[in-house]
Structure 1
Amino acid sequence: MSVESPDVAPPDGGAHRAPWKGAFTCVAAILVLFLAASSAPSPLYVIYQQQWQFSAWVLTGVFALYVFGLLGSLLIVGALSDHLGRRPVLAAAVALEAVALVLFLVAGNVLVLSAARVLQGIATGAATTALSAALVDLEPSRGRAGVVSSVAPLTGLALGALGSGVLVEFGPAPTRLVYALLLGAMVPAAAVVALMPETSLRRPGALASLRPRVAMPAHLRADIVPVVPAMIATWALGGMYLSLGPSVAAGLLGLHNHLVGGVVVTLLAGTGALAVFLLRSRSASWLLAPSSALLGLGTLMSLAGVVEGLVWLSAAGTLVAGVGFGASALATFGTFARIARPHERSEVFALANIINYLGNSVPAVLGGIAVTALGLRTATEIYAVAIVVITFSALVLRLNQVRAQRRAAMAPCG
C-alpha cells in the first residue's frame, strides 16, 4: 500500500524544517488522544442519567450532539488544512478541545454536558482530518499511514472508554477525574503541534473551502463507492456500543459495575485495533468481504447472548464483531490513504469521516428514541438486526463486484 510523495513546504514557501525523528509517532499519539477523549464520557452516561434523571433518547441525543458537531466541523473546515497548513488547524483544535474538557469538568446538568459534547465534536472533526493527512504527509512511501489512521482511532476509543471506566469505578470524583487528566494531556499535545514540521503547502482558496459541501472527486468514485456500505455498517455498530452498550450491559445482562461500561466499548474497539495491526499487510480490497461477514456474524452472536442472557456469548460476539470492525476500518482508511492525491488528502479524509459518523450517529439517535418508545430490549434487538442486514448487504455487493471484475478480466480471452 503506497501513496504518491507529497509536496512538503512551509506556509511561506521558504526553507522548511525537516520532519524530526518521532514526528510521525507524536502525531499518531495526538490522534489517539482525541479519540480517547471522545469515548471517555461513554461509561459516565449511566451516572449522568441517574443523577440528572433524563430518558434514553436524551442520552443518545447527547451522544449524537458530539457527532453532529463533528460532522459540521468536517463539512466546514475539513479541507482547511489543505490551504492553511496542518499546524494552524491542529492548534485551534487542541485549544477548542481544552475548552470542551473544562466544560465537562464543571458540568452540572444536561445543557452544559451537551455544550461540551458539541465543542468536543467540532474539535475532533477539525483534528482528525488534519492529523490523518499529516500522517500521510510524514510517511509518504512506507504504507504506515493507512494502518495508523485505522488503528489509532480504535485504540483511542478503547483506551478512553476503559480508562474512564476504571477511574469511575475505583477513582475519586468519578465525573471529574478523567476530564482533568485529559485536559493535562492536551498540554504536551499543544507543544507537539507547536514544534512539528509543517507538511502542507499553503495555497489559496481557504475561504472558499469553508463552504459546506460533500464532494467525492470523480476520479476516486470507483474506489470509494464499494466501501460505503461497509463503512455505514461498521460505524453504526460502533455507535450502538458507545451510546447504548453500557445500558445494555447493566439493564439486560445485569452487569452493574461501572467498569463494565468501559469494557464493553474496549472489547469492540480494542479487538478492532488489534485486528488492524495483525491484518496490516492485507490489501484493502481483500479485506472488504471477510470484514463484512465477521461484522454480521459477531453482531448476531452478541444479539443471541443478550436475548438468552448469556454474558459469555455476547462477549464472544463482540470479539468477533471487533475483528470485523478493525478489518473494515483498515480497508476503508487504507483505500483512502492510497488513492488521495497530496493536495486533496484533507478533503478526502473529511468525506470518509462524514460517511462514518453519519452511520455512527443517525442509528444511535433512532435507537435512543426506540428505547424510550419500545423498551431497551426491543430497541436493542431491532438495532442489531438492522446492522446485520446492512452488513450482509455490503457483503453481497462486494461479492457481486468481485465476480464482475473477474468477468471483465476474462472477457478479452473469450
Structure 2
Amino acid sequence: MGIAVLSLYLIELRRPQLDAWPAVISSIGAPVGIAAGALTGGVISDVLGFSGQWIYVVVNVLLAGCLVGLLRSPKTTPRQRGLLASLRPVLAAPTSMGWLCAALSTAMVAAWSVGSLYQSLGSAMVATYLDHNGSLFAGVVVGMVIGLTTVGGPSFARVSPTTATFCSLLTITVGMIGMVLGLHLHDEPVFLVFSAVSGVGFGGATTGILRTVMAEVPSDEIGRFLTIVYLAGFVGSAFPAAIAAILDSHVGIRVALVGHASFVVAFAIVSSALLARVQMESSTTARG
C-alpha cells in the first residue's frame, strides 16, 4: 500500500515538463532501498559482527528520517477536491482497459518475481552451487540484481513504453535461462552476468509498466489502475517464493530454483502475448 500511494503522490505532484520522472523514481526507489538493505545487512552481520537486531535499528532510523523529510517537503501543487478519495484503494480497471490491465499485471508479476527469487533462494543458491556460505556474498548478489534495476529504465527510455516492456520481458527471460545454466555448470561468472541481465530486465519492465500506465490510462483512473497492478506484483511475486521455500525443504534447491525461474519465464511470455493483443486492438481501432 505504501509503494502504491507514494507512486500516486509522485504522479499527482508532477510538473508537465518532467513527466518521465515519476515513473523513474517509482520504479527505482524500492529496488535501490532493497539493494542497499541487502548489502548493509550483510556488512552488519558478517563483517562487523553485530546482532541482526541492529538491522532493524538502522531501518527504523532511516524511516524516521524519511518521515521528517516528507513532512517538510514543499507543496508544489494546490490541494484539489477529491484527491484523498482518489487514493482510496479500489480494485477496478476502466471497462475499456481490461486487457491492458491484465497485460501489465502479469508483466509486474514476472518482473517482481525476479526479485523474490533472489531474496528467497539467493543464499541457498550460492551456497549449494557456488560454495559461498554466509550472508555477505548472498547480499552482494541480491544488491547487484536489484540495484541494477536502476539501469533498466534508462536502457529502454528511447523507445515507446510498450516496446520497452516487451524488450524488458525478453531480457528477463534470457537472464533467467542463463542464470539457471550458470548455476548448474557451477560457473560463477556466468551466473553473475545473467543475474545482472535479469536485474536490468526487472527494472526496465517496472519502468515500462509505469510509463504505459501514465501514457494510456486517464488521470482520474490511474489510482485504481495502479492499485491492481501493484497488488498483482506483490501477491504474484510472493506466491512462487513461498512455494519455492516449501519445495526447497522437501525436494531440494534444484527443483525450487527451476520451478521459480520457470514461473518467471511463463509470466513474461503470457504478458508479452497480452501486450501484443492490446497493440493489435489499438492498431485496428486507429485504422477504423
Matches within 5 A, 1:331-342: 331-342=208-219
Alignment of 1:9-24 (within 5 A): none
1:177–1:205 Cα change, 3 Å: closer
Q: CA deviation at 1:138?
A: 2.0
Residue 185 of structure 2 is aligned to residue 308 of structure 1: yes
Instruction: Provide Cα deviations, 1:66-86, integer angstroms capped at 9, x if missing partner.
Output: xxxxxxxxxxxxxxxxxxxxx
Partner of 2:256: 379
2:114 and 2:24 map into 1 onto residues whose CA distance is 21
8 Å CA contact retained: 2:153, 2:208: no
State the match for 2:13 in structure 1: 138
- 5 Å matches for 1:42-57? none
Would the aligned equivalents of 1:231 and 1:332 in 2 still touch at CA under 8 Å? yes
Gaps of 5+ in 2: none
CA 174–202 in structure 1, closer or farther in 2 if over 3 Å, else same: farther
1:389 and 2:266 correspond: yes
User: Helix, strand or coil for the counterpart of 1:389?
Assistant: helix
Mapped to 2, the partners of 1:363 and 1:215 lie a distance apart of 25
> What percentage of residue pairs aligned between the two structures are identical?
22
Query: Which segment is superposed worse, 352-361 or 273-282?
Result: 273-282
Cα separation, 2, equivalents of 1:382 and 1:222 = 27
* Equivalent residues in 2 for 1:2-401, closer than 5 Å: 125=1, 127-141=2-16, 142-143=18-19, 144-197=21-74, 201=80, 203=82, 209=88, 214-221=91-98, 223-399=100-276, 401=278
Change (3 A) 1:204 1:146: closer
What amino acid does structure 1 have at the position aligned with 2:149?
G
- 2:67 and 2:260 mapped to 1: Cα distance? 39
- Distance in 1 (CA, whole Å) between partners of 2:71 and 2:168 is 38
Counting matched residue pairs gives: 283
1:222 deviation in Å?
Answer: 5.0
SS in 2 for 1:260: helix
Distance 2:83 2:35 in 1: 39
Give, in whole Å, the separation in 1 of the partners of 2:251 and 2:152. 35
Rounded Cα–Cα distance in structure 2 between residues aligned with 1:352 and 1:398: 14
Aligned residue type for 2:80: L
Change beyond 3 A, Cα 1:223–1:382: closer
SS across alignment from 2:130: coil
| Comparing 173-182 and 326-335, the one that deviates more | 173-182
Q: TM-score when scaled to structure 1?
A: 0.62
- Per-residue CA deviation, residues 109-158 of structure 1 (Å, 9 max, x unaligned), is xxxxxxxxxxxxxxxx2x22221111112214111111211121222222
| Structure 1 contact 297–321 (Cα < 8 Å) conserved | yes
How far apart are 1:165 and its partner, in Å? 1.8
Larger Rg: 1
Deviations 1:270-289 (A, max 9, x none): 11112223433432111122
Work out the CA distance in 2 between the residues paired with 1:205 and 1:166: 41
- Residue identity matched to 1:252: Y
Q: Is the 8 A contact 1:268 1:319 kept in 2?
A: yes
| TM-superposed deviation, 1:375 | 1.0
Taking the aligned partners of 1:386 and 1:267, their CA distance within structure 2 comes to: 22
**Which residue identity is paired with 2:139?**
G
The two structures have a TM-score, normalised by structure 2, of 0.87
Cα distance change, pair 320–258 in 1 and its aligned pair in 2 (3 A)? same
Partner AA of 1:238 in structure 2: G
C-alpha change, 1:342 and 1:315, in structure 2 (3 Å) is same
With over 3 angstroms needed to count, the CA separation of the structure-2 counterparts of 1:215 and 1:178, relative to structure 1, is same
Change (3 A) 1:405 1:305: same
Note if contact 2:38-2:143 (Cα within 8 Å) is conserved in structure 1: yes
Residue 390 of structure 1 and its aligned partner are, at CA, apart by 2.5
1:203 and 1:228 map into 2 onto residues whose CA distance is 26
Is the contact made by 1:291 and 1:327 (CA closer than 8 Å) also made in structure 2? yes
Q: 1:267 to 1:340 in 2, by over 3 A?
A: same
